[in-house]
Chain A
Amino acid sequence: MVNIQNLHFAYRRRPVFKGLDLELQPGHIYGLFGRNGTGKSTLLRNIAGFLFPQQGHIEALGFTPGKRQPAFLGKLFHIPEDFQLPDITLARWIQYMSPFYPDFNPQQFEHYTREFAIPTFSGLRELSYGQQKKILISLALATNAPLLLMDEPTNGLDIHSKSQFRKVIAGALDEEKCILISTHQIKDLENLIDNITILEEGRIIFNQPMNRIAETLLFKLSFDAEETAQALYSESSLRGHAIILPNTNGEDSRPDLEMLYKAVLLNGKTINALFP
């Protein structure tokens, strides 16, 4: 669905990507994590065609994104971190926006706005940032665009809306859709994403599906000092030490994304070596 090969990109003199490769498949929700300024949003905008690779090749949905052809844009929805909606009512906006997306489904849109409890009678500018974001997410999902790019989608959402977000996104995924979510709010995406991709200094330093992470790594609490010393990563807590170990005995555990992220940043080589 998305194929990136040898991507080079720089802002004037500041290089961001030097030979990045990435492949995204339909039927998955990818979580893209990384520190501030590592190029998460830049990668999304390269995939959407808002920025052009200086070297390398990007193909998305069979198109070259940089050409920004209407057929491509109609199959892609990009939710930016910061956006501005026009000063009209929601109904008007949807009336004039939806015909651009051939697979838009008004019943789905109504369903999502109900799920998010969005007041549909108001002018868009009268709504809070969080409500506007929920409208954008509802529209994105109702367009049934096969490729959804979301940049910090949970920013501005309250606690209830974040759980609604996870529910709605999980329900919207099907075998033909690919959702790429960039965020540094890792906890918000727990139990949602099925692949974790970590960017650091313009390179992908970790890219694994969740099931393989669960098979390969063991996340547990330990009071054993020896076990803690052998851990790939450990964190002290009131309940003992939260640790990550190689899952040599095939035990079941629930990956803690935040711990995994920190572990990869600190000990990426060793962790990657565990994945064949």
Chain B
Amino acid sequence: MTTAPTNQLFSFTRWRLLLAKHWIENRRRYILSLLAIGGLLTIWCGFLIIMDAYAPLDVNMQFAAYFVGLFLTGALYSSMLFADLGTKKEALPWLSLPASHLEKLLCALLFGTFLFFIAYTLVFYLVDIPMVEWANSILRNHPRNWPNTNIRIPPVSIYNIFTGDGAPIPEKEDHLFLSFYFAVQAAFLLGSIYFPRYAFIKTVVAVVLFTLGFIVFQRGVIYPLLPTGWYNNFFRWSTDLYESGPPKSEVRLPLPIENLLTLLGQIGLPPFFWFVTYIRLKEKEV
């Protein structure tokens, strides 16, 4: 006979048991999925090297491969995390397992968000590093210049997701893609509990509709309210776009509030979606 933890919201002992159970029941699926991701990345990178005669697998290509793969597989995987709750025969054992809603959510977050991100990144580099080496060996063995120049094509470097060197400016300066990935993944996690069937497709539709709604709101409501010649840039309205120095006139929020809103937009969305997922989990009926 063992003693049951008294805390009904979160117990580390119970959570550890839940993690062990989740891993043992799903490890085969996870390992196979990672192998499949690795295989697809290998095929894609190999295809790029073969097809690009000048700069095979440059940093931009690696950046695109990393993020397209991360967004697609992350969203797909996330939308399956609570898919069990869509069918009675899997939902009832899941709900009846003696662990709290918070523990179950944190288990899903650990595997679906953090471990998946780490595992995907590891798989990416396991594929990317030898692929870059292959690309460089091609350049070493067959040196070539950029078209119509005498400039030698330099060796390809490995894309670093932490520094973002060579990536587009929003990623290099603010890690916008990386933070947006966690927001998208959190949205798909919520979708997996919100939509009992076809969670991935329905969440895609919901995200697209939300984005369209936001664009329509910006173009159809905010713009017509502004004087002619003024631009709308989220938290600030100005007479010119920020292309050549500060604008002549602008209306903007106080800097601390603007910074806070930007920060919330960057890192506040995932916790917001996780919180809503937690509420939905508590309200879930089967």
Question: Does B225 make an interface contact (CB < 8 A)?
Answer: no
Give every chain A residue within 8 A of B99 (Cβ-Cβ): 70, 73, 100
Question: Does A68 make an interface contact (CB < 8 A)?
Answer: yes
A231-B109 Cα distance, complex, nearest whole Å? 64
Give every chain A residue within 8 A of B98 (Cβ-Cβ): 70-71, 73-74, 100-101
Tell whether A84 pairs with B93 under 8 Å between CB atoms, given A70-B100, A73-B98.
Answer: yes
Task: Tell which of A51, A74, A96, A97 touches B286, judged by Cβ atoms closer than 8 Å.
Answer: A51
Q: Considering only CB atoms, which chain A residue lies closest to B16 in the complex? A: A99
Question: Does A120 make an interface contact (CB < 8 A)?
Answer: no
Q: Which one of B17-25, B56-64, B177-185, B188-196 contacts A?
A: B17-25
A80 touches B89 (CB 8 A): yes
Q: Considering only CB atoms, which chain A residue lies closest to B26 in the complex? A: A86
Give every chain A residue within 8 A of B20 (Cβ-Cβ): 96
Tell whether A99 pairs with B17 under 8 Å between CB atoms, given A71-B4, A73-B97, A92-B24.
Answer: yes
Task: Tell which of A50, A83, A88, A102 touches B3, judged by Cβ atoms closer than 8 Å.
Answer: A102
Q: How far is the CB of A237 from chain B (nearest CB, A)?
A: 39
Q: How far is the CB of A73 from chain B (nearest CB, A)?
A: 4
Give every chain B residue within 8 A of A99 (Cβ-Cβ): 2, 17
A49-B285 Cα distance, complex, nearest whole Å? 8
Residues of B72-98 contacting chain A, CB below 8 A: 88-93, 95-98
Give every chain B residue within 8 A of A141 (Cβ-Cβ): none
Tell whether A50 pairs with B25 under 8 Å between CB atoms, given A102-B1, A102-B4.
Answer: no
Count of A-B contacts judged by CB separation below 8 Å: 82
Q: How far is the CB of B280 from chain A (nearest CB, A)?
A: 14
Q: Considering only CB atoms, which chain A residue lies closest to B14 in the complex? A: A70
B286 touches A68 (CB 8 A): no
Question: Does A181 make an interface contact (CB < 8 A)?
Answer: no
A88 touches B92 (CB 8 A): no
Q: How far is the CB of B258 from chain A (nearest CB, A)?
A: 42
A51-B284 Cα distance, complex, nearest whole Å? 8
A71-B4 Cα distance, complex, nearest whole Å? 7
Question: Does A69 make an interface contact (CB < 8 A)?
Answer: yes
Give every chain A residue within 8 A of B6 (Cβ-Cβ): 71
Give every chain A residue within 8 A of B21 (Cβ-Cβ): 96-97, 100
Q: How far is the CB of B90 from chain A (nearest CB, A)?
A: 5
Residues of A117-143 contacting chain B, CB below 8 A: none
Q: How far is the CB of B15 from chain A (nearest CB, A)?
A: 11
Give every chain A residue within 8 A of B97 (Cβ-Cβ): 73, 100
Question: Does B144 make an interface contact (CB < 8 A)?
Answer: no
Residues of A63-92 contacting chain B, CB below 8 A: 68-71, 73-74, 76-78, 80, 82-84, 86-88, 92
Q: Considering only CB atoms, which chain A residue lies closest to B5 in the complex? A: A70
Question: Does B28 make an interface contact (CB < 8 A)?
Answer: yes
Q: Considering only CB atoms, which chain B residue lies closest to A149 in the complex? A: B96
Question: Does A176 make an interface contact (CB < 8 A)?
Answer: no
Q: How far is the CB of A67 from chain B (nearest CB, A)?
A: 8
Q: How far is the CB of A17 from chain B (nearest CB, A)?
A: 15
Question: Does B101 make an interface contact (CB < 8 A)?
Answer: yes
A70-B3 Cα distance, complex, nearest whole Å? 13
A70 touches B11 (CB 8 A): yes
Q: How far is the CB of B18 from chain A (nearest CB, A)?
A: 8
Question: Does A16 make an interface contact (CB < 8 A)?
Answer: no
Q: How far is the CB of A9 from chain B (nearest CB, A)?
A: 10
Question: Does A103 make an interface contact (CB < 8 A)?
Answer: yes
Question: Does B8 make an interface contact (CB < 8 A)?
Answer: yes
Tell whether A68 pairs with B95 under 8 Å between CB atoms, given A86-B25, A88-B25, A96-B21.
Answer: yes
B4 touches A73 (CB 8 A): no
Question: Does A112 make an interface contact (CB < 8 A)?
Answer: no
A96 touches B24 (CB 8 A): yes
Q: How far is the CB of A148 from chain B (nearest CB, A)?
A: 12
B14 touches A100 (CB 8 A): yes
Give every chain B residue within 8 A of A82 (Cβ-Cβ): 88-89
Task: Tell which of A69, A78, A103 touches B8, judged by Cβ atoms closer than 8 Å.
Answer: A69
Question: Does A196 make an interface contact (CB < 8 A)?
Answer: no
Q: Considering only CB atoms, which chain A residue lies closest to B93 in the complex? A: A83
A69 touches B100 (CB 8 A): yes
Give every chain B residue within 8 A of A105 (Cβ-Cβ): 1
Additional 15 contacts, C-beta under 8 A, given A50-B285, A71-B98:
A50-B96, A68-B101, A70-B5, A70-B100, A70-B103, A76-B96, A82-B89, A83-B92, A92-B24, A96-B21, A99-B2, A99-B17, A100-B14, A100-B21, A102-B2
Interface residues of A (CB under 8 A from B): 45, 48-52, 68-71, 73-74, 76-78, 80, 82-84, 86-88, 92, 96-97, 99-105
Q: Which 10 A-B pairs have the closest CB atoms?
A: A73-B98, A74-B98, A86-B25, A102-B4, A96-B21, A82-B89, A69-B8, A100-B98, A80-B92, A70-B98
Instruction: Provide a sorted-by-A list of 17 A–B residue pairs whose CB atoms are within 8 angstroms.
Output: A45-B92, A49-B95, A50-B285, A50-B286, A52-B285, A68-B101, A70-B11, A70-B103, A80-B89, A84-B89, A84-B93, A87-B28, A96-B20, A100-B17, A100-B99, A102-B1, A102-B3
